[in-house]
Structure 1
Amino acid sequence: MDRREIAGLLAYMGRVDPRTRRTDPGELRDQVDQWQELLGDVPLNTESGWDARTAVRTHAVSSPYPALPVDVARQWHKHSADRLARHTDPLPSADPDDVESWRAELLGTRQAVLTGQRPPNEQRAITSGATVDPAVEARLRAIGSVIPPKVRAELSRFRPTRAAREAAAVEGRPDPLAVRCEWCHAPAGEPCRNRRMGLDGDARGNARRATPHPSRLDLATAELQRQETAA
């Protein structure tokens, strides 16, 4: 802000909070000098929604103390930092091999966002919250799964273990991978292993089996029966 804008801001502040009004020409000059010293790089207003008069009014209704120039400066820096935090650097148009031009354009864009000369380049973030977009929720209800049945069928040949587990769940059959295998010690969710032991007691092989060990299927059957009985 220049001296004229500072004087106008002080006049507005004097109307909002009469305690800050100065009538003596010397005191008023000193007040303008003090405010311009701290707010010389702070704009009076920008197209991004910043207005120093709003900052003065906000302070007047939220604090029992008269506004100081640092109070306005802090609100401006908070406003500009929030804008920069929402900004995603666009791809510079400069030649990437020209490092200086590339860097200058990138920093120039950030400075323009920081000072309110241009809006931040915002990208929609991937969220992991509980809120689901209504359109996505309706689509999931329609197809019953994140992966449509046709696509799931196409993928089944690339992941036979998962396809077998899904088929077992649909048909109400026991899922061997739902329990730990006591034979090869494969944890729940992992396929069984062909473990060959050498004469020294060390494992000589650890290849995945296409089918689970029979004892694991027995354990899964017993667990399914137990759950049905408990239900």
Structure 2
Amino acid sequence: MTLSEATELLAYLSRFDNRRPSAAAAEAWSRALADVPLDADTKAAVDAFYGSIPLGGEGYQADRSRWMQPHHLRYHRQQIRKARADLAPPYTGVGGDVRQELVAARQHAAAAASGRLPPAPALPLPGDRPRFETTTRGAALVRAAARVPSRRPELKAPCPYCRATAGAPCRNRRGPLGTIHDVRLRAAQDLADGRTPPSADQLAAEQEQRRAASAAALTTRKDPA
């Protein structure tokens, strides 16, 4: 926030609390909010602060104690942007290296918080049978990502364990997971190195061979003759 923006902000605040803006106050606010611009979200944070009920209720002496400080503005602005970002579509990757993914993820988060992304469509019910649906944001994003093919490099290979297709998240009996099976990570590395990753049937055959070898080894130990 520049000095001129801080001066304009203090003038806007004075409409609510009758404070007397000064050059010293504008300089202090400009330093405290150096990374916060004077935009619609900033003024909406002021409106939210003075339009909300004080935490202390009627005994808080709201008329004399409601005095917005820079940390109040920062908090309410973050809440406004977080609520907007929660409604945006999930980030599904760009298919680049780690640095490119981090840059793209930050750009996606900033666009979602500022309202430049359209809200995510409502999640459809999974079939006609009624089932419990959690309302936590993390599970909602996982379910949404299950319908959007991801370009993350570790999801380019199908999962030999849960048989998830390329671009889809790993699954269990309850639905999509937020983690990736280890065998899929190895399959993605094989694919990146030009090797053919093992299929689900090959993985099952290898596991059966290991079980048979373990059973044979236990039998040999019990009966050395």
TM over 0.5: no
When normalised by structure 2's length, the TM-score is 0.43
When normalised by structure 1's length, the TM-score is 0.42
Question: Larger radius of gyration, structure 1 or 2?
Answer: 1
